[in-house]
Structures are given as C-alpha cells and as structure tokens.
Amino acid sequence: MSTVKTRRDVLGTNALRPDGAAKVKGEFSFSSDMWSDGMLWGATLRSPHPYARIVRIDTSPALAIDGVRAVLTAEDVPGVLTYGLIDQDQPVFAVDYVRYMGEPVAAVAADHPETCRRALAAIIVEYEVLTPLTDPELSLDTSTPAIHPNGNVFRHQRIVHGDTSVVGDVVVEGEYEIGMQDQAFLGLEAAMAIPDADGAGIELHIATQWLHEDQKQIAACLGLPIERVRLVLGGVGGAFGAREDISLQVHSCLLALTTKRPIKMQYSREESFFGHVHRHPARVHIRHHAKADGTIVKIEARMLFDGGAYASTSSAVLINGITHIQGPYRCPSAVVDGFAVRTNNPPCGAMRGFGVVQACYAHESQMDRLAEACGLSHVEIRLRNAMRTGDTLITGQPVESVAPVERCIRETDALPLPPPLIDSPDVLELPGGTGLTSRSENIRRGIGWGVSIKNIMYSEGFDDYSTARCTLQDGVVALKFATSEVGQGFVTLAPQIARSVLGVTDVVVEPMDTTIGSAGSTSASRQTWMSGGAVDGACRLVRERLFEHVGLANGIDALRLVIEDDEIVDTMGTLRIKVTDAAPGVRFEETFEHHHRPTEDLDENGQGNCHVAFAFVAHRAVVDVDVELGLVKVVQVATAQDIGRALNPLSVQGQLEGGIAQGLGLAVMEEVIVQDGRVRNPSFTDYLLPTALDAPEVVYSLIEEPDPQAPLGAKGVGEPPCISVTPAIASAIRQATGRDIRRVPVRPQDICL
Amino acid sequence: MSENQIYTLTVNGSQREVKDSWIGESLLYVLRERLGLPGAKGACEQGECGSCTVMMDGAAVCSCLVLAASAVDADIKTVEGLAPDGSLTDVQQSFINNGAVQCGFCTPGLIVAIHNLLDSQPNPSELEVREAISGNICRCTGYGRIFAAVQDVIEQRGATR
C-alpha cells in the first residue's frame, strides 16, 4: 500500500497519501469491491410505510425462487433483537411494528442481485397501516400515544446558568429551522461477511467509522462471544457520521452464518437514504439580551431535535446543540431547554458538526439581528462578544482550550474579497448556471458572517480512548491501530508522526481490524488528537527502548540521546548513528492507549465540565442572488480556522474546502424532503449536492496556536469547516435580498416569493 | 439467474468473454463483478454522480446506464487501462501531488473524465474544466484540490508542447 519514499515526510510537511496511487488507478479495494469464492448476494426488504403493525409475514414464495438460499426475519435473530449506539432500541428486523419508511423487515441471500430483487418482491407482508407521528412538537405532548415502548422523548435537558432574571437593554428574538441533511458519502454501504468453517464465528469486512463498537453490537445480536466476531476495515468511501450506526452489518453476518457462504451486501443509493441516519432537523427559538453596546448578558433558547424513529445518538446530539447555543461568545446567564424526540420520520444521528450545526445557524442568525438592533456591523458585534481562553461557558465549564476567536474573525476579515461581478459574465458564473435564465441586472451581491465553537472528542464522561502499536526493526516502522480511515487521511498522518518521533523513513501501516484495542470512532474531529496521541505515545515508548539499547551498547546514559533528523545523537558526546543502523536485527514493539482527560455528566441544571476541548472558526461568504428567480451562487468563502498546528497543511486545506462545500449544501440545496413520514427524494437526481460548478473560491488562513492539552498540539480540523459557513451564506442572502431568512436550506421561494 | 447469455466485450484492448450473465446487467456490473475491473464505481445508478465513468469509442459515458450486452461493438476503456502496469498518467500523479484524493471513491471516474476533457481540449479555461467535471460528484474535497490538479496538468502539458 505504501509507495517508496525518497524523502522523510515528517509532521508539518505536505506528506502525500500512501493509498493515493491505488486510489487514482482504481486498484484500491473499497468494501463494495470485494469478491469471494462461492459468495452469495444479500438484500434487505424494507417497510413501505412510516408506521404500521405487521399482521403477517410469509417468506415461502421467496424461498421457492430458484437461486434463493435464505430468507430471514426477526424470528431468525439468535441474540438480542435490537441494537443502538447509546440506547439499544432499534430492531435488527422489525418486530410487530414498523416505525419508519425503510425499516428493515426481512433479508434474503441469493445467487445474483436480480434474484435478490425478485425474492424481496415475493415476500408477503401484510400491514395494518397506522397514522404516523410526524410532528416533533406532538411527540412532546403527553396525550400523544407512545410509538415505542421507550416513549416519545429521547431526552430533555435544561441549562440554567447565572442570573436568570437579567433583562437586556436590547432584546432580539427569532425562530429558526434547519432541514434534514444527508451525509451522501459516495461509497455506498457495503460489506463482505465470511463465516468461519465451524459455523460459530464470522469475519466481517466492512466500511465503518468504529470497528470495535460495531463488533460489540453485532456480537450481541448474533448471540456470539465477541472474540468470534472479527472485523476488518473495508475501504471506506467517505463517512461524515453516517457509518457510526449499524446498517447492513448484522444482516450480512446472519445471512452468512445461515447459508454457510460468504455474503456480499451493498446498498443502492435509494436504499442508502433509508439505510443510515441523517442530520437532525431542528427548530430553535432563541432570545438574546444585550446591553445597548451589544454585550450579550443572557440567552434564552428552546431547541427541538427530531430524532426520528430510533434513538441512535439523538441524546448526545441534543447535548451538543444546547451546550453550543451561546456560540463562541461570552454569555454570563442562560436558560435553555432542549428536547430530542421520537417520531415516525427517518432516524437521525451523527453528521459532521453533530448538533452544533443546528445551534450555529440559530445563534449566528441572532448575532446579525443583534448587530442591527445595536447599530453595529456584523464584525463588530462578534468581536465585542468573542470568547477567550478562561471564559466560562453556560454549562459552568471553563474554556481551557486555546480560544483565538477574535483572531479567527480578524484574519477572516483581512482576507481579500472577490472582484465584483462583471457586466456580461459567462452564464455558468450566474446563479442557477446554464439552462436557467438569470440575468446580471437582477443580481444582488451580499456578504455574510458566521463564527462557531465546536467541541472535539466525546463528552459527558465517555472515555473514547485510542490504541496504537509501534514496531521498529532495522529502521522500518510498522504501525497498527483500529482507526477507521474514511478519507480524512489518518493513514498519511500516522507515518508522519512515526517519522518525526523515530527518525525513520519507511513506515508500514498494517490493516485496520479488531485484533488490536479500540481506536474509538472516526468522528467528533477526534482522531488526530486521540489516535494521533496513541501513535505518538507508542512511537515514544519504542524510542525509549531504542535509546536504552543504544545507550547500553555504547556505555552512555540513554537520557543523553535524542533523534536528529534520521540519526540518534549523543547530546553530551560524539556518538552519531543512523536509526537504521542503531540496532541491527533487534525488534522493539510497544502498545500505547491514549486517554483524554475525564469529562463529567451535566446535572439537572445543565452544569458540568462535559466537554474535553474546543475548536473555533470564522467564515465570511460572498453570494450573488438573482432576486427575481430566487437563485443563489456562492462566489467566495473566506475562513480562518483555529487548528492548533498544521500537521499536514495540504490535508488541512482539503478538509477546509470539503467541509465548506458540505455547509454550502445545507445552506442552499441539500434537504431530505419528508412528507407524512415519507422520504420524497431518495436519489441524487432529487437530493442535490454541490458540483464543481457550485464550488466557491475558498481563501483561508490557518491559525496555529498549539493547544497544550493536545498530544501533537493540533486540534481536529474535520467538523469546524462545515459549521459556520451555512449561517454565513444565509446571512449573505439576507444582505443581498433584505429577506428575513429563517430556515436552511434557503429555497428559491424563500427569496423571491 | 437462469438466462444464459454469452457475449464478448472489448475492454482496455482485450477481448473479454462474458458468460452465464443475465441480459439485464449494466456495463458497470459486468466490468466490476464479471471481468475483475472494479475501478469504475457505482454510487447513484442513474448517471448523476459520474463515479462509474468509462470511455466508450472515445466518449465518456456513465457505465451504470449502459447495458453491457449492448456494448459488444464498442471499444471500452476503464481507469485500469489508462496507464501501463506500475505507472501513473500525468493526471493520476497530479491528483496525488495536489491532495485531490481523500476517500477516493469518485477519483477513478474523475480521472477518466479529465483525460477525456484534455484529450479533446488541451487548454481548457477554468470554467470549462468546472463544466466538464460537473457531472462527477465529489463529497470529500469541495473540488478545490481537484481544480489545482487539473491546472497543474494543463501547465505541464503546455510546457512540453
């Protein structure tokens, strides 16, 4: 997998991806590219109704089809019948009721995907269709019948902080709505499940964000000891949160164990829209109190997250939402009520930004209003309230992280603006592009701002540690970890760490699987910090052993030795020896677990040190809007991001630009349309994603103030880019149009009707 | 499946016999599942994302929308056929150098689409590049590093002409 290196790509360089050559040649094995002798295909039957009682299932017509080898329903699940990341409330296959459109009811194994399709069509399921609960407000009403034995409210949490009786000189208030976004990774869900010869175990090759969490949930549902369920990371075609929950894992393993044959399963794009969780749609009512000079004195907010039919991570998303509703601004007092509720809408869970996206759209829309109410500019209001290290959050938690909010804003503001729209631009440069009839004279340009705070790592007492092993022999390092590489580039970063610590050039990254301890999830912008910390720790332990060996061999104290470039150097003598020559034939191996500092649960008033660390970012968006047609073109996004330290500047740039495109999507085009519990646009024809013609120019500044808590000084950079760009674009549309934009995505009718 | 079809496709210069197939299989399916060429990827099955882009008689097509059995007379080239074994094309190398690859799922389709563009238009404007690859969706990169990769190739080729 690794290419031959002729230079030492240490930390801070633009090291290139070791899997790059395989990926550009089409030789990299994604989980959907796997093939096995004697394999069968698996497929899932899904509910056509958002809410219904299952009266009867008859699988015999499907079993009668030539080529069909198995048809499974809930009756065939040998272990626990449900799974879930936090609450195990989601059935492997529906039991008695289906609670969302697309809920799995049965699975088939057959010799060809077309045979699978015919078998699914032949299964008879008789439903008693029920009226779905689709309004999250009704879920809060205690008179609404529960649609699940666990009730209709996943979690309610209040935050009460400071002097709640304070009233501001200026009060601004608004109600905001965020639509349901899909992660829309390109590489559809896919897996290869291979049964052990004795039928009492399974090996699953799977595209996932968290191998060990999957392993735990799968083993429980299969009724197998955890060691008999071995997971290997299949090539992952993007994730963005959608691979944190179980999708086809248990189904493919069950089919493999039943048929005693390898099972290949892969979703279509339509099925993928039903097969994974989405970003929570949310409604946020928020009131800011400020002094006449714009200084915030209190916020009051109510946040309602629609979690859909099953819990997934709704309770954690809720906490992220309410604990970030103040934004990156000082706020001495707060009263916040947050609810995550169950409905018969599609289940929602993790997506890049995890609850903070929803909070940020609301607080940044409010900051614009507050600026206008106080007669300040959009930049001035944010600078006046900008959070600093040492400030106290509305949870009572002190901000110990480096918090360069003011610098993020000022450096963004200093980035150059794009040239004005020329008189007769190419039609492709106009809002709507080719085929639509935008005319330059109808175009108004707007500039908008967004600034955000994002927690990194897991919260509320969870110890999301990471494990790594480093082996050194004759100057060649092998690294082993279970860190999911989903495209973010940890396979590039880990060798950079080893080269920096150990002075080596050649680093092999071993396959990611469950034969080593957990690395936690590739989410929450956490792997650079957590798995980076684990790799760094393991390499440092190996370096100690190497120094001891060299010290002993040369009769000097190992403490005198350091690595300089590719050599071991005696700081108090003349010894200077290449790492590659330092210990011929000797193998050093060390394993290290990195744990972040402990966090706490919130109390009943939402007080507690619940988060580990924070990262900050500012965005400025320039948009052109055709005010007659309601079309938007995002011309440029400027951003300054607090990243701690640029371990791989090229990789950071890719994260910034990619996150901005996803935030742009939520701002102006991406929404899973759900009507009466039914998804109306489960395809790339109808769910619109930013294309190369939609991508704005991105100008940026990296703010490098190494965080003393971070093992490598670096904060995760994955989530912040997508968070405040959405309100920045919405704000720019407001500036261009004078319209009161209260929801994202902004639709043409919100602009021109 | 019971339907037993045998036909021959011309892929990357080789005659490849397709046996025991179902007549409804797409070119994408046959390349990936029957001919051992998984470079073209499936991500939407309706010609929106471009991940499955291959060349047919010199034109870029979405192989998910082509019936394999209808492609018997075509000269098909996939991402695997762009460079000899063990080497990279200039576009492929530029993608790596410019950080244009993240998860890499869209990459093979983009590589084929960009070769197709530069073969027919050696010196496209930035806007022409954007339009040419606007049928190839990338969810990871936001396209910035992809534009940089293409620009590098245009400049390198221009310098050597």
pLDDT, tens digit only, all 161 positions of chain B: 546 679 999 999 999 999 989 999 999 999 999 999 999 999 999 999 999 999 999 999 999 999 999 999 999 999 999 998 889 999 999 999 999 999 999 999 999 999 999 999 999 999 999 999 999 999 999 999 999 999 999 999 998 87
Which chain B residues are within 8 Å of A657, Cβ to Cβ?
141-145
Q: What is the pLDDT of residue B125?
A: 96
Please indicate whether, in this complex, the C-beta atoms of A269 and B45 are within 8 angstroms of each other.
Answer: yes
Residue B45, Ramachandran bin (φ over 0: left; ψ between -120 and 50: alpha; else beta):
left
Asked if A566 contacts A8 with a C-beta cutoff of 8 angstroms, the reply is yes
- Rounded to 5 degrees, φ, ψ at A659 are -65, -40
Asked if A133 contacts A344 with a C-beta cutoff of 8 angstroms, the reply is yes
Which chain A residues are within 8 Å of B135, Cβ to Cβ?
691
Element holding A155 (H helix, E strand): strand A153-161
Partner B, chain A 287-326, Cβ-Cβ below 8 Å: none
- State whether residue A67 sits within 8 Å of chain B by CB: yes
| Closest A-chain CA to B49 | A684
- Does the residue A160 lie in any domain? no
**CATH number for the domain that contains residue A504:** 3.30.365.10
Please indicate whether, in this complex, the C-beta atoms of B138 and A486 are within 8 angstroms of each other.
Answer: no
Residues A497 and A387 in one domain: no
- Does the residue A153 lie in any domain? no
- State whether residue A29 sits within 8 Å of chain B by CB: yes
Q: What is the pLDDT of residue A441?
A: 87
> Measured in Å, how far apart are chain A's first and last C-alpha atoms?
55
For testing contact with chain B, the best of A24, A264, A493 (most B CBs within 10 A): A24
- State whether residue A695 sits within 8 Å of chain B by CB: yes
Residues A394 and A451 in one domain: yes
Nearest by CB to A20, from B33, B101, B140: name it: B101
pLDDT band at A744 (very low <50, low <70, confident <90, very high): very high
**What's the full length of chain A, in residues?**
753
- State whether residue A101 sits within 8 Å of chain B by CB: no
Taking alpha carbons only, the member of A467, A471, A458 closest to residue A502 is A471
| Closest A-chain CA to B133 | A692
- Does the residue A562 lie in any domain? yes
Residues A428 and A478 in one domain: no
Nearest-Cα distance to chain B for A658, in Å, is 4
| Closest B-chain CA to A188 | B43
CB pairs under 8 A between A and B: 197
- State whether residue A489 sits within 8 Å of chain B by CB: yes
Asked if A504 contacts B118 with a C-beta cutoff of 8 angstroms, the reply is no
- Does the residue A413 lie in any domain? yes
- Report pLDDT digits (tens) over A469-490: 999 999 999 999 999 999 999 9
Please indicate whether, in this complex, the C-beta atoms of B42 and A238 are within 8 angstroms of each other.
Answer: no
Residues A211 and A303 in one domain: no
Which chain B residues are within 8 Å of A489, Cβ to Cβ?
102
Rounded Cα distance between B143 and B101, Å, is 10
All structural domains of chain B: 5-81 (3.10.20.30), 90-160 (1.10.150.120)
Residues A423 and A508 in one domain: no
In angstroms and rounded to an integer, the radius of gyration of the C-alpha atoms of chain A is 27
Assess: ipTM above 0.85: yes
Please indicate whether, in this complex, the C-beta atoms of A23 and B39 are within 8 angstroms of each other.
Answer: no
Asked if A533 contacts A457 with a C-beta cutoff of 8 angstroms, the reply is no
Count of other CB atoms within 10 angstroms of residue B155: 12
| Closest B-chain CA to A207 | B103
- Report pLDDT digits (tens) over A167-221: 999 999 999 999 999 999 999 999 999 999 999 999 999 999 999 999 999 999 9
Residues A687 and A704 in one domain: yes
Rounded Cα distance between B137 and A314, Å, is 29
- State whether residue A118 sits within 8 Å of chain B by CB: no
Which chain B residues are within 8 Å of A239, Cβ to Cβ?
103
- Report pLDDT digits (tens) over A553-587: 999 999 999 999 999 999 999 999 999 999 999 99
Averaged pLDDT, A62-68: 98
Strands A104-110 and A743-744: unpaired
| Closest A-chain CA to B82 | A25
Q: B30 vs A656, B1, B13, B66, B81, CA distance in Å? A: 37, 14, 16, 10, 16
- Does the residue A167 lie in any domain? no
Domain boundary residue, one of A568, A594, A620: A594
Please indicate whether, in this complex, the C-beta atoms of B38 and A689 are within 8 angstroms of each other.
Answer: no
Nearest by CB to B46, from A35, A66, A684: name it: A684
**How many degrees, rounded to 5, is the angle at CA A196 between CA A195 and CA A201?**
85
| Closest B-chain CA to A67 | B1
Q: At what angle do helices A378-385 and A356-374 cross, to 10 degrees?
A: 110
Rounded Cα distance between A752 and B11, Å, is 51
- State whether residue A351 sits within 8 Å of chain B by CB: no
The dihedral formed by the CA atoms of A490, A492, A496 and A499, expressed in degrees to the nearest 10 = 120
Q: Spell out the residues 6+ positions from residue A201 whose beta carbon is closer than 8 angstroms to its own.
A: A195, A224, A228, A229, A230
Taking alpha carbons only, the member of A503, A505, A506 closest to residue A569 is A503
- Rounded to 5 degrees, φ, ψ at A310 are -130, 160
User: What DSSP letter does each residue of A156-175 carry, written as one string?
Assistant: EEEEEES-TT---SEEEEEE
Nearest-Cα distance to chain A for B70, in Å, is 19
Taking alpha carbons only, the member of A668, A657, A656, A674 closest to residue A716 is A656
- Rounded to 5 degrees, φ, ψ at A314 are -55, -40
Averaged pLDDT, A381-393: 98
Average pLDDT, rounded, for chain A: 97
- State whether residue A97 sits within 8 Å of chain B by CB: no
Q: What is the pLDDT of residue A6?
A: 46
Count of other CB atoms within 10 angstroms of residue B91: 24
Is B159 exposed, middle or buried, given 0-12, 13-18 or 19+ CB atoms closer than 10 A? exposed
**A230-246 burial code (b ≥16 CB/10 A, e <16):** bbbbbbbbbbbbbbbbb
Please indicate whether, in this complex, the C-beta atoms of B43 and A690 are within 8 angstroms of each other.
Answer: no
Q: Is A448 helix (H, G, I), strand (E, B) or coil?
A: strand
User: pTM of the prediction?
Assistant: 0.97
Q: B66 vs A26, A603, B59, B72, B97, CA distance in Å? A: 20, 59, 13, 11, 33
Asked if A112 contacts B22 with a C-beta cutoff of 8 angstroms, the reply is yes
Q: What is the pLDDT of residue A72?
A: 98
Please indicate whether, in this complex, the C-beta atoms of A30 and B107 are within 8 angstroms of each other.
Answer: no
Nearest by CB to A691, from B41, B134, B147: name it: B134
| Closest B-chain CA to A699 | B144
- Report pLDDT digits (tens) over A501-544: 999 999 999 999 999 999 999 999 999 999 999 999 999 999 99
Rounded Cα distance between A195 and A548, Å, is 45
- Report pLDDT digits (tens) over A399-442: 999 999 999 999 999 999 999 988 778 888 889 887 767 888 89
Nearest-Cα distance to chain A for B153, in Å, is 15
**CATH number for the domain that contains residue A99:** 3.90.1170.50
Residues A550 and A687 in one domain: no
Nearest-Cα distance to chain A for B44, in Å, is 5
Averaged pLDDT, A597-625: 98
- Rounded to 5 degrees, φ, ψ at A296 are -70, 130
Residues A339 and A259 in one domain: no
Question: What is the number of structural domains in chain A?
Answer: 3
Please indicate whether, in this complex, the C-beta atoms of B103 and A236 are within 8 angstroms of each other.
Answer: yes
Domain boundary residue, one of A536, A560, A594: A594
Rounded Cα distance between B64 and B40, Å, is 9
Which chain A residues are within 8 Å of B134, Cβ to Cβ?
691-693
Residue ranges making up the domain that contains A527: 20-29+464-594
Nearest by CB to A66, from B2, B135, B136: name it: B2
Residues A381 and A516 in one domain: no
- State whether residue A19 sits within 8 Å of chain B by CB: yes
- Does the residue A137 lie in any domain? no
- Does the residue A173 lie in any domain? no
Residues A684 and A642 in one domain: yes
Residues A304 and A262 in one domain: no
Q: A580 vs A8, A476, A498, A550, CA distance in Å? A: 13, 7, 14, 12
Nearest-Cα distance to chain B for A623, in Å, is 17
Nearest-Cα distance to chain A for B75, in Å, is 19
Please indicate whether, in this complex, the C-beta atoms of A21 and B88 are within 8 angstroms of each other.
Answer: yes
- Does the residue A3 lie in any domain? no
Please indicate whether, in this complex, the C-beta atoms of B104 and A237 are within 8 angstroms of each other.
Answer: yes
Which chain A residues are within 8 Å of B112, Cβ to Cβ?
none
Rounded Cα distance between A212 and A231, Å, is 8
- Report pLDDT digits (tens) over A673-685: 999 999 999 999 9
Residues A309 and A430 in one domain: yes
pLDDT band at A5 (very low <50, low <70, confident <90, very high): very low
Please indicate whether, in this complex, the C-beta atoms of A237 and B43 are within 8 angstroms of each other.
Answer: yes
Taking alpha carbons only, the member of A262, A208, A251 closest to residue A231 is A208
Nearest by CB to A654, from B36, B80, B145: name it: B145
- Report pLDDT digits (tens) over A290-340: 999 999 999 999 999 999 999 999 999 999 999 999 999 999 999 999 999
Q: Spell out the residues 6+ positions from residue B19 whose beta carbon is closer than 8 angstroms to its own.
A: B4, B6
| Closest B-chain CA to A430 | B127
Question: Residue A7: is its pLDDT beyond 90?
Answer: no
Rounded Cα distance between A253 and A256, Å, is 5
Averaged pLDDT, A438-447: 91
Rounded Cα distance between A468 and A449, Å, is 40
